[in-house]
Amino acid sequence: MLNNRTKIKELLAGEATNYEATVMGWVRTFRNNQFIALNDGSTNNNLQVLAELGTFDESILKRITTGACIKAVGEIIPSLGKGQRVELKASSIEILGDSDAEKFPLQPKKHSLEFLREIAHLRFRTNTFGSVFRIRHSLAFAVHKFFNEKGFVYMHTPIITASDAEGAGEMFRVTTLPIDGTAPRNDDATINFKEDFFGRSTNLTVSGQLEGELAAMAFSDIYTFGPTFRAENSNTTRHLAEFWMIEPEMAFYDLEDNANLAEEFIQYIIKYAMDNNREDLEFLAQRLAEEEKSLPQDKRSEMGLIEKLEFVLSNKFERLTYTQAIDILKESNHNKKKKFQYEITGWGMDLQSEHERYLVEKHFKKPVILTNYPAAIKSFYMRYDDNCEPGRQTVAAMDILAPGIGEIVGGSQREERLDKLEQKMKDMHIPMEELYWYLDTRRYGACPHAGFGLGFERMVQFVTGMGNIRDVIPFPRYPKSAEF
């Protein structure tokens, strides 16, 4: 048996001393041929392993290099060094994996996030990414915990789909047909997908919502949590080509119920991270504060990371309609001084991210739930609001906007009335025959229902304070990049 070691986090947390322990991990630094800073990923805090002078062979000592993997056995003793209560006085050290210090790309110094992205296979071994991915784990765990406690059923919706009807974004095609021009053709020269693997044209999913709705019409409350794919060429700090989305779908929910659930959910998972990842959050808060020191005063965050998260936990999200938002934007000094790149043309316009950010960061200074958007700028499945002003038909849509991130949630009450849904699909040129299964839920026991999609990486960004979405997913996929 090899795995009889104690994790460093556990050792550092303990009060006891003068007992024997085995540790394994990766060397961060080796000072004075005596002091090894050892890390095993359980915490950012390293365990000091003392290799007393004269105890170990030079042949072993010279292999204790940054990046090397070692096993050390010895006594846990009170530490004389500062910053730690205990250390391990080694009686034996075994090199599990050498690391050529000359070639190892991670030097014990500060590296830029851009550089670390190029060595994403090794960046887990830094403090920043150690903290980010432990928090990511906690948030994922909290997602399941939240929904499980509420009696939601976790539904695995398909990753390969044939429906291209959702219109959420550009899709990646899935095919086994040859791409060298020899794929079978129809008489009109288009590709004959009947000959393809699935006998039809297929894509990677952009959202599990439509299938989620089917399940909600049986289990009442379901959620998905899986990868989604968008072939959109957006090189922003908030878009990935492959990202994880959480999509709850609830029968017997209206828009207000939906917003209540989303708010409770977001606060719950943030609180879970605050309760379970304090050390990592404090590390990232410090990192962010350092990083912002180089920015001009007006570009710095008003609150520190922890303060911001506490603020979100203790304040209600601001709720307002799209129509109210347009009025605020129109009346703003920012608009009057023509500081928006995209002009506020009035009711009916789609909001650009600069407008959303103005509302969240400048006007309300807290998360905002925007509701009841014009039907024309939203998806076909969103429910028509009743009693709209003439010429101002809205739908029961909601977007949740977060400071520093922009849109973090998109959701709606769904159109459950068959006649209205069919009319809208016709108007928006959504293929109804292909989506017969979706329409069946409206034919057989339809009910009011609602749901939303939360982009998991944007949530991780919000909680960790990381500025670029590419730094909160282990191996980011974005235009011209699918390394590792």
- Give contact residues for ligand ATP (rule: CB under 6 A): 168-169, 230, 239-240, 243, 245, 407-410, 453-455, 457-458
* Shortest separation between residue 273's beta carbon and ligand ATP, angstroms: 17
Nearer to ligand ATP, 52 or 350 (CB): 350
Beta bridge partners of 154: 223
What's the chain's Rg over C-alpha atoms?
27
How far is it, in rounded angstroms, from Cα 474 to Cα 238?
Answer: 15
Pick between residue 351 and residue 446 the one whose CB is nearest to ligand ATP.
Answer: 351
Cβ of residue 409: shortest distance to ligand ATP, in angstroms?
5
Shortest spacing between CB 44 and ligand ATP, in angstroms: 27
Q: Record the tokens describing residue 405, joined without a space.
A: 């991130």
Asked whether the beta carbons of 110 and 465 are under 8 A apart, the reply is no
**Of 25 and 455, which has the nearer Cβ to ligand ATP?**
455
Residue 10 backbone phi and psi in degrees, to 5: -65, -45
Burial environment of residue 72 by CB neighbours within 10 A (0 to 12, 13 to 18, 19 or more) = buried
Which helix (H) or strand (E) segment holds residue 422: the answer is helix 418-427
Q: 334: Cβ–Cβ under 8 A, 6 or more apart, which residues?
A: 340, 358, 362
Evaluate the CA torsion angle 437, 442, 447, 452 in order and state its sign. positive
Q: Which is nearer to ligand ATP, 232 or 440 (CB)?
A: 232
The partner residues of 39 in beta bridges, in order of sequence, read 26
Please report, to the nearest 10 degrees, the dihedral formed by the alpha carbons of residues 266, 271, 273, 275 taken in order: -170
CB of 239 to ligand ATP, least distance (A): 4
For ligand ATP, which is the closer residue by CB, 25 or 248?
248
Residue placing its CB nearer to ligand ATP in the complex, 232 or 257: 232
**Residues contacting 416, CB < 8 A, separation 6+:** 383, 442, 446, 447, 448, 449
| Shortest separation between residue 381's beta carbon and ligand ATP, angstroms | 12
- Report the residue number, 74 or 453, with the smaller CB distance to ligand ATP: 453
Q: Give least dist CB 388 to ligand ATP, A.
A: 22
Query: Among residues 27 and 408, whose Cβ is nearest to ligand ATP?
Result: 408
**Smallest distance from the beta carbon of 468 to ligand ATP, in angstroms?**
12
CB of 262 to ligand ATP, least distance (A): 11
- Burial of 434-460, coded b for 16+ CB within 10 Å and e otherwise, reads ebeebbebbeeebebbbbbbbbbbbbb
Cβ-based nearer residue to ligand ATP, 43 or 205? 205
Instruction: Decide whether 168 or 191 has the Cβ nearer to ligand ATP.
Output: 168
Smallest separation (angstroms) from ligand ATP to the CB of 267: 17
CB of 391 to ligand ATP, least distance (A): 25
Measured from the CB atom, the residue of 30 and 244 that comes closer to ligand ATP is: 244
User: Which residues contact residue 298 at a Cβ distance below 8 angstroms, ignoring those fewer than 6 apart?
Assistant: none
Q: Quickly tell me which residue has 């828009």 as its tokens.
A: 255
Among residues 26, 271, 311, 235, which one has the least CA distance to residue 143?
A: 271
In the complex, least distance from residue 268 CB atom to ligand ATP, rounded to whole angstroms: 17
Residue 409's DSSP bridge partners are: 400, 454
Q: How many CB atoms sit inside 10 A of residue 94's CB?
A: 11
Cβ count near 299 (within 10 Å): 8
Question: Where does 62-126 have alpha helices with state H?
Answer: 113-118
